[in-house]
Amino acid sequence: MRRIIITLFTFFALFIVASGLYIKSVWNPSIPTVLIERVQTRATAHGGYVPLTHIPRFLQDALIATEDRNFYHNQGIDVEGIFRALYVDMMQRKLVQGGSTITEQLVKDIFLTDHKTIPRKIKQIAIAIMLSHSLSKNEILALYLNEVYLGHGAYGVGEAAHVYFGRSVNQLTPAECSILAGLPQAPSLYDPLKHIQLAKKRQWEVLKSMVTAGYITMKQAQYIDHTNLELISAP
């Protein structure tokens, strides 16, 4: 075990150094602009870009609690998460976990592929750090909420609100927001139009994450969990 830990620390140190070197070699002030343009272009093709002010705060909090609890405090990457993911990867002798923050997920969706390799992860971390130093947290969150894939061809919470509930995202209830917040992990598996029981189970996980993060109380979570959903008919 000691040998594994030493190896892991060594690999982690080299990983961070490589990320730093990559940042220096590819630093490009136009990257944030390119990212914004690509997200806005895709949003235009999927119902239009939705400003953060039009997205329920409950939905924002639900996604942060579920996907990146330290979003407002990290620099685009989660060092503890990366270290934990590397440990799992080493134990299983393959790339299994990603330890991705919201910023890293945004980078992957726009600039990279789903193919898991160490060079790709280094690139993802490097660009995420660049973005965290170039854009505000609200700007990054707004881009993510307009880009994240939520199933049925829906990119962004604006289009997903219409796909699943038949109305604008700013009209969603806390129960509906928590359903959407559970989708990024596995949109097909937790599709509420096809797998309502799995979607409800995932919804409860989201609500518990919100309780742990301090956004809501357990009593509120239980009330929301028992609130009826007004889903549209499955296609």
Tens digits of residue pLDDT in 164-190: 999 999 999 999 999 999 999 999 999
- For tokens 């129960």, name the residue: 175
Write out pLDDT tens, residues 82-132: 656 555 555 554 544 455 899 999 998 888 766 666 667 777 888 888 888
For residue 25, what pLDDT is reported?
53
Count Cβ atoms within 10 A of the Cβ of residue 2 and give its class: 0-12 exposed, 13-18 middle, 19 or more buried. exposed
Kindly state which CATH superfamily the domain 153-235 is placed in: Biosynthetic peptidoglycan transglycosylase-like (1.10.3810.10)
The answer to whether the beta carbons of residues 129 and 75 sit under 8 Å apart is yes
CA 137 vs CA 5, 94, 117, 122, 234: distances in Å? 34, 32, 27, 21, 35
For residue 75, what pLDDT is reported?
83
Residue type for position 53: T
Rounded Cα–Cα distance for residues 59 and 15 (Å): 34
For residue 145, what pLDDT is reported?
97
Write out pLDDT tens, residues 143-157: 999 999 999 999 999
For residue 109, what pLDDT is reported?
86
For residue 8, what pLDDT is reported?
46
Name the residue ranges covered by the structural domains of the chain: 1-48+69-148, 153-235
Average pLDDT, the chain: 83
Residue 3: closest CA among 91, 92, 96, 95: 91
For residue 89, what pLDDT is reported?
54
- Which tokens belong to 49? 């870009």
